Structures are given as C-alpha cells and as structure tokens.
Amino acid sequence: DAGITQSPRHKVTETGTPVTLRCHQTENHRYMYWYRQDPGHGLRLIHYSYGVKDTDKGEVSDGYSVSRSKTEDFLLTLESATSSQTSVYFCAISDLGTSGGNEQFFGPGTRLTVL
C-alpha cells in the first residue's frame, strides 16, 4: 500500500469551529489532492497541490483552504465548519498527476461530522 496517512480518522465538531485535516505521505509524490465523498455523489475535488506551496482550487473549494509547506504534508482547513461540510474526506497522491492516466493512491479517509 502507498504510504498515505490521514489524521484524524474521525472527528466531531461544532458549527463555526475551525478544523484542520492532515494528509501525510512517504512516497515523495509531487501531486496531492483533497476530495470529499458524499452519498449519491462521486468524489469531488476540493483542492489539489502540484508542488510545495503550489496549490489550486477544485470543484467544491468554497469554505476550504489548503497548505503544503513540505512535500509530504498537505493540510485541509475548514475555517468555520458548517453542517454541509459533514462528509468523508479523502487525500490522494500521484507522482505524475493524472495526465497520461496516471493512477492516484488514496488515504484511508477522515470522517468529519459537524453538529
């Protein structure tokens, strides 16, 4: 299995509080991605990174920010959590990006509940 860990694995928080999810990889892959997965929806890209300090928005980036200060770490922050952000969050990595059909390796996910 690709060396990807996510922390925490489960979190319950209250509306309006800030939340940070961490993705850590040991594969030295250049690309890192944050997705959310909700019932009835496909994975939806929140933000992605193509290098240290290089990030870009995905389809559902509103209310989320990211940072990547080291190759191995990609942080996802919910500045002020809302109930609509209750979801399962997956981090993924890819060495060459998806160009050329390169596969992504996924972490185990973080289940976030916002009350």
Binding site for another protein (CB under 8 A): 4, 31, 33, 40-45, 48, 50, 56, 58-59, 90, 92, 97-101, 103-109
Cβ-based nearer residue to another protein, 58 or 63: 58
Q: Cα angle vertex 25, ends 38, 18, to 5°?
A: 50
Q: Which is nearer to another protein, 34 or 78 (CB)?
A: 34
Residue closer to another protein (CB basis): 14 or 111: 111
Question: Tokens standing for 93?
Answer: 């990595």
What's the closest the beta carbon of residue 84 comes to another protein, in angstroms? 18
Residue 14 near residue 77 (C-beta atoms within 8 A): no
> Which residues does 12 contact at the CB level (< 8 Å), separation at least 6?
112, 113, 115
Q: CA 91, 57, 69, 27 torsion: positive or negative?
A: positive
For the bound state, the minimum distance from the C-beta of residue 87 to another protein, rounded and expressed in Å, comes to 14
**Which two structure tokens, joined as six digits, stand for 20?**
């940070």
2, 102 contact by CB (below 8 A): no
CB 42 → another protein: shortest distance, Å? Answer: 3
Between residues 16 and 52, which has the closer beta carbon with respect to another protein? 52
CB of 6 vs another protein, minimal distance in Å: 9
